Structure 1
Amino acid sequence: MSVAVAQTAPSPAPQTAPAQAPAKDALGRETPQGLVTGLISAFAAGDYDRAARFFTTKKIAGNAGTAASRAALAKTFQQVLDRNGRLTTPAELSTDPNGRIDDGLGEGLERIGTIQTEDGKVELLAERVESDGVMVWVISAKTLSAIPALARTNPDSLSFAALTNYVPAGPVVGGAPVVHWGMLLVIAGLAYVAAWLVILLVRLIVRLIKRAHGETTVTRFMEAAAAPARLLLTAVLFVVALRWIEVTVVIRYYAEFGAQLTSWFGLAWLMWRLSGAAGEVALGRMSRRGQLSAYAIVSFLRRVFQGLVALALVAALLHVFGIDFTTALAALGIGGLAIALGAQKFFENLIGSLTLILDQPVRVGDFCRFGTALGTVEDIGMRSTRIRTLDRTVLTVPNGEFSALHIENFSRRDRFWFHPTLSVRYDTDPEQMRFLLQELRAMLYAHPRVDPDPARVRFIRLGASSLDIEIFAYVYAVNMDDYLEVQEDLLLRCMEIVAKSGSGFAFPSQTVYVARDSVRDGEKATAARDSVKQWQEAGELQVPRFHPDRIRELRNTLEYPPPGAAVR
């Protein structure tokens, strides 16, 4: 018999429970900002039971602790705030679950508002406690204990504040009577009119300054700042007037919040306009001094600054609406990686633009060749460069690609190259050739727009159908049009010298003569030979090169433009 041995099955490995996401508070009280926005939302809805849930659960003196008493306390709290209180807006509240650590209140405490009394301001505090396993922020016991006493006080109100008491309240809209919303619109209108009048006075002062001194840097900045300054001044006057009017805390909260947003937009707009004005002023001064190379640098710095202003505004808005900027970037995850990969070209072009600005192979206004295209640079931006082609079209080239091309800048050359090849007839004898070489060199040395070093004329080739003379010289000219005028004059003088020698230009073709060739001008040929002979006898033949003394004698002896020219 065979013995069967039972095998024990191995016990399964213990499984790790999946990590659970941290619990969330249903009322959004994880941060001080969430506490205040949730409390205002409950006040606006008239839901005092929900508002009481934003209070601490600690025992409060004079409070029975029942749901009804807590709801009554919430209503009393709103009445006190309506009369003399102010809750901190989201722009000033922390979005960190731990709150602010630099406010001097200690850990777990946060300042969320104030109540004005006869003895001064009473601070409203929030404290961090645990509720259903979640750390949340609630109105502190110290603040709630002071509410009944604050409700019994009646500090003197200004006459302005009592205006809403003499007008029928009307229906409640958005947690506040209609008359309060109407008063808000009236205040906003009056603030705008007052700001408009102030800016109008400033504009009149600017006009007087311009009449007396013309356009100045100060007037340019004042004109650029006028529109955003009016918006900022309207927001400031609106907030100041709002604190003199007795309206509900809901309206005051949302109105101050809206005024703060308006102020941020106005401030960003102001910085944007001032940077543009500063760029125009800087470019104007550099243009007057001839420092055109700094145009691209100033334009680039202005755009960078405006981009930073826009980025700062976006970061501020994210904070206002409870989104931490660094957390938002980290939360992008794979999306952020995709954006980073997509932005690779952007950063490549940005680095290319920095290269163009720092290295300055071209400047705005330069005529250049890049690759196979020709054109004039009109703008060097953060991403691309715009070039006006010879066809008068605008070609946009990404800076990353443009900076990697071979760029030939025609606007940077100091002289223009004059290098024609004169092909004369084969029946030109050596004496005539010597005459041509000497006269052509003398013409170049004598011309005031030709650089004499080097200015050479050489008999270089016995061609298939001509004797070739190469001219090599540099011409002084301010631009291509000016050079073409000088080149035209030089070519006409070359033609005159060739005709004077008794020779002529050869045609690069083969000709079958069926008749006798025309006889050369014997008198001119004889005169040319006699001239060469006289030069040789006197030791004045300037071949193969001119004597330096003769060059100095010839300098600027020719009249240019030639006699009879309309433009001299």
Structure 2
Amino acid sequence: MILYVRRLLLCMLFALLLPHTMTGQLLGTSKTTAEEPAKVPDDSLGRRTPQGTVNGFIKAIGEQNYLRASQYFVLSKRSYRRTAERIKIAQTFQLLLDQGGNLSPSSIVSNKEIGRIDDDLAAGVDLVGNIAAGKTSIQLYVENQSDDSQPALWLFSAETVESILSADITGEKTFLDRVLPSVLKERKLGNVPIGHWAVVVIMTVVSYLLSRMLLFGAGYVIQKVWKKAATEKGKAVIEAFSLPVLMYLTVILFVALTQRMGISIIVRQRFSIIIITIGIVAFLILLWRLTDFVSMYTRSRMTRRGRISAVSAILFLSRTTKAAIVFIGIIAILGIIGVDVTAGLAALGIGGIALALGAQKTIENFVGSVSLIADQPLRVGDYCRVDDIKGTVESIGMRSTMLRTSARTIVTIPNGQLSASKIENFAHRDRFIFNPIFNFRMDTAPDQMRYLLVELRSLLYAHPSVLNSTPVVRFTGITADALKVEITAYIEAPNFEKSQEVQEDLLLRMMDIIENSGTSLAYPSQTLYMARDTASSSEKAEAVFETVKKWKEKNELQLPEFDPKRVEELKGSIKYPDDGSFKPDEDKN
């Protein structure tokens, strides 16, 4: 009964208060401001990211504050309450790292609260190093101990701590602890025994000298095995690889020796950035030298082939590649030393877009020059036609190409426009067309026309500079004022000037044939010719009629086709140049 009364009173109270509450919400007498999300407080130990956890732990053991170092571990409640046990875990971890452990350089460890998501590990777990000392092999993991609703908290995982506790290090000392005198171990510099710093310097020199010896031995073997090692190209390749390989070997030997000798993890972790930087610089030097080698080799080949225009493009590409190498190297080194280059890259990207838009024509011309060099539609010295411009190529640059016209003027064409134009190159012709069209008088007799067709074709067969392909000499039509004969043949000549000489000789010989036929060329009907017209030679016409008659009687009229035997007899029967012509070769003799 009492319980029932209490419930009834609560319901009445709720009914009385609810209208007032709803009224206040509907009237909106006071504006409510949206609550800003609470800012996540920074962790005093810097454990919000895997990188912060690793750096904080190294700093703590460097200061020999092992109690603080233990706060970077996932510990059970029992272990956490025992201070001595916490200190022992941290000291054991440091000893294992000194004996043969390795922590990833801080610049490689993730600096994000979510950790790395591009590895094969589960979300919230990152691998940050390993320990391999004697029979001990431990993978070092850091794990996010918070869920999505709480700020990230990265600690060395419970599995890692358990492996550290189970490691047997009783009576084990590092090599340096056994050989260094007490003075060098007790006196410290940067919370590290001064003897360790001295050994680091010694190991740097030893690693360099060993690398030089190994490189010398490898060079000797290469000289014996590789036959081209003594050539200029072989020496250039060996020179390109020598310094980068020396740097890589030095770094590898230094890391291996310092790790096995028991150099403090504090020292090695501080040197890790320098080691990675040296590796990046070695790789960049290798790229730089390979660029020089490829550029030198390609330029020499282009020079031997006479492609002078390609040399400038190769130099430009070489310089551009080197600029890219320097830019990538600066970005990589800044990222290694901990500088956030994301904002800088974004700014450079925006600036690059603006620059590309502003230099669109320049980039277009550069791409055009590269395509011209690759496809080689024209070369320096070629006579060509670009659209409606004819001229000889004077030079092919990175921005434009210059043509010298027959009027001796220079026409500059941007390479972007040139690569998109129709280019007709006359210099690469393997033959020159000979295509005159003759219009003969209307009073030319049929036998005279037969004589002309046979003799003109015989001339083309007989001339040594006319290509052996079958020439075409055809009576193609009767117009209002002339009888039309069209000739098509090809002249074999090394250049255009020589083809003009042969064409001139052919035309002169054809004029002789026309003169001997007794007819002549027709004048255009629209031309008013006031001179006395010379009558056709009746004697020559009679001679031509008699000749054609004999051809017909002997079945030797070479129309519509020539007898192959007659073609073989005619080939090369004409003396060219003709007697009486200037012959420079004979004058030299």
For Structure 1 versus Structure 2, the TM-score category normalised by the shorter chain is 0.5 to 0.7
Q: Distance in 2 between matches of 1:369 and 1:216?
A: 42
Find the counterpart in structure 2 of residue 418 from structure 1.
Answer: 434
2:153 is paired with a residue whose SS is: strand
> Among residues 489, 493, 496, which one is paired with 1:473 in the alignment?
489
> Among residues 49, 52, 55, which one is paired with 1:31 in the alignment?
49
Q: Deviation at 1:98? A: 4.7
1:112 is paired with a residue whose SS is: strand
Change (3 A) 1:528 1:48: farther
- After TM superposition, the structure 1 stretch with the greater mean CA deviation from structure 2, 235-244 or 257-266, is 257-266
**1:187 paired to 2:199:** no
Q: Is the 8 A contact 2:222 2:229 kept in 1?
A: no
Q: Deviation at 1:87? A: 1.6
**1:535 paired to 2:547:** yes
Find the counterpart in structure 2 of residue 491 from structure 1.
Answer: 504
Q: Is the 8 A contact 1:448 1:556 kept in 2?
A: yes
Q: Distance in 2 between matches of 1:422 and 1:457?
A: 10
Change (3 A) 1:511 1:44: farther
Q: Deviation at 1:137? A: 0.6
- After TM superposition, the structure 1 stretch with the greater mean CA deviation from structure 2, 201-210 or 45-54, is 45-54
Q: Distance in 2 between matches of 1:227 and 1:459?
A: 77
Change (3 A) 1:485 1:507: farther
Change (3 A) 1:225 1:454: farther
Q: Distance in 2 between matches of 1:256 and 1:33?
A: 14
Q: Deviation at 1:154? A: 4.6
CA deviation vs aligned residue, 1:236-289 (integer Å, no higher than 9, x gap): 22222222344332331243444345445545766897899899999999xxxx
Change (3 A) 1:172 1:321: closer
Q: Is the 8 A contact 1:385 1:396 kept in 2?
A: no
Q: Is the 8 A contact 2:53 2:154 kept in 1?
A: yes
- Once the two structures are superposed, the pairs formed by residues 213-224 of structure 1 within 5 Å of their partners are none
Q: Is the 8 A contact 1:364 1:377 kept in 2?
A: no
What letter matches 1:135 in structure 2?
A
- Once the two structures are superposed, the pairs formed by residues 144-293 of structure 1 within 5 Å of their partners are 153-158=170-175, 162=179, 172=189, 180=196, 183-209=199-225, 225-263=241-279, 266=282
Q: Deviation at 1:235? A: 2.6
Change (3 A) 1:267 1:511: same
Unaligned 5+ runs, structure 2 = 1-23, 405-409
Q: Distance in 2 between matches of 1:160 and 1:434?
A: 116
- Once the two structures are superposed, the pairs formed by residues 273-352 of structure 1 within 5 Å of their partners are none
Q: Is the 8 A contact 2:461 2:571 kept in 1?
A: yes
- After TM superposition, the structure 1 stretch with the greater mean CA deviation from structure 2, 89-98 or 13-22, is 13-22
Q: Is the 8 A contact 2:49 2:152 kept in 1?
A: no
Q: Is the 8 A contact 1:82 1:248 kept in 2?
A: yes
Change (3 A) 1:538 1:133: same
Q: Deviation at 1:128? A: 1.8
Find the counterpart in structure 1 of residue 573 from structure 2.
Answer: 557
Q: Distance in 1 between matches of 2:541 and 2:353?
A: 81
Identity %: 23
Q: Deviation at 1:129? A: 2.0
Q: Deviation at 1:444? A: 2.3
Q: Is the 8 A contact 2:47 2:153 kept in 1?
A: yes
Q: Distance in 2 between matches of 1:394 and 1:314?
A: 39
What letter matches 2:151 in structure 1?
V
Find the counterpart in structure 1 of residue 14 from structure 2.
Answer: none
CA deviation vs aligned residue, 1:166-223 (integer Å, no higher than 9, x gap): 76998736x7577655644543344334333433444444444565898799999767
- Once the two structures are superposed, the pairs formed by residues 81-100 of structure 1 within 5 Å of their partners are 81-82=97-98, 84-90=100-106, 93-94=109-110, 97-99=113-115
**1:566 paired to 2:585:** yes
Q: Distance in 2 between matches of 1:160 and 1:72?
A: 19
Q: Distance in 2 between matches of 1:313 and 1:364?
A: 38
Q: Distance in 2 between matches of 1:527 and 1:16?
A: 123
Change (3 A) 1:487 1:232: farther
1:244 is paired with a residue whose SS is: helix
- After TM superposition, the structure 1 stretch with the greater mean CA deviation from structure 2, 485-494 or 37-46, is 37-46
Q: Deviation at 1:556? A: 3.9
1:539 is paired with a residue whose SS is: helix
Q: Distance in 2 between matches of 1:543 and 1:75?
A: 113
Q: Deviation at 1:36? A: 1.8
Find the counterpart in structure 1 of residue 153 from structure 2.
Answer: 136
TM-score of the aligned structures, taking structure 1 as reference length: 0.60
1:86 is paired with a residue whose SS is: strand
**1:61 paired to 2:75:** no
1:566 is paired with a residue whose SS is: helix
Q: Is the 8 A contact 1:435 1:528 kept in 2?
A: no
Larger radius of gyration, structure 1 or 2?
A: 2
2:207 is paired with a residue whose SS is: helix
Q: Deviation at 1:84? A: 4.9
Q: Deviation at 1:32? A: 2.1
Q: Distance in 1 between matches of 2:183 and 2:387?
A: 79
Find the counterpart in structure 1 of residue 12 from structure 2.
Answer: none
1:442 is paired with a residue whose SS is: helix
Find the counterpart in structure 2 of residue 5 from structure 1.
Answer: none
Q: Distance in 2 between matches of 1:40 and 1:534?
A: 119
> What root-mean-square deviation, in Å, do the aligned CA atoms of Structure 1 and Structure 2 show?
6.8
Q: Deviation at 1:438? A: 5.7
* Matched length: 517
2:79 is paired with a residue whose SS is: coil
What letter matches 1:249 in structure 2?
I
